[in-house]
Amino acid sequence: MRSLLIPAFIALFSLTTLVRGEEGTLSVNGLAFKFASPWAEVQSTGMFRAGTLAATVDGAEKPVEAIFYSFPGPGGGGDTEANVKRWLGQFQGTPESKREELDAGGSKITLVTATGTYNDGPPMGAKTPRENYTLIAAIVPSGESNIFVKLTGPKDAIAKLAEGFKKMVLSPFAK
């Protein structure tokens, strides 16, 4: 009888984990960003990447990534206006866009959403135009500098992640 209880307990625990969904925390510049399924932390590569979360979503050929950037020093990474302008400039022409200022317990998070033909590729390299792509990016205050969080991918896939992304960038300030 005892030999049957252990496998049953393991099966029940596994089922509970699947139903509850995986949860985690990504720490960047002393802030704890909480995330849940379908997000999972993956290895970050590249300069100034402080963390990367990936999600597999219907409508995307590959997992989409929310990349957390942190730049050293006061004002590292530039001011809000310069970053918003740069993000919108990553699209061909003028994208359909929206800017929100979110109250996070006295801190202001700037959230930008843009949709159009996105020029995908490294900052100084060749770009691949991606039609009907959406970018959601946030500027999160963190001490003397900001944390920049950027998510891009097919419009329909990003639409499925938008509310969770917003919740994630607000999570360090939730009480």
Domain spans of the chain? 22-173
pTM above 0.75, yes or no: yes
What is residue 7's predicted lDDT score, i.e. its pLDDT? 36
List pLDDT tens digits, range 38-73. 999 999 887 889 999 999 998 788 999 999 999 988
Domain spanning 22-173: CATH superfamily: Mog1/PsbP, alpha/beta/alpha sandwich (3.40.1000.10)
Q: With a cut of 50, list the residues of the chain below it in pLDDT.
A: 1-21
What is residue 22's predicted lDDT score, i.e. its pLDDT? 66
Residues 6+ apart with CB under 8 A from 77: 48, 69, 70, 71, 83, 145, 146, 148
Answer left, alpha or beta for residue 104, where phi above 0 means left and psi between -120 and 50 means alpha.
beta
Tokens of 97: 């866009």
Cross-strand partners of 39: 55
Residues 6+ apart with CB under 8 A from 155: 115, 132, 133, 134
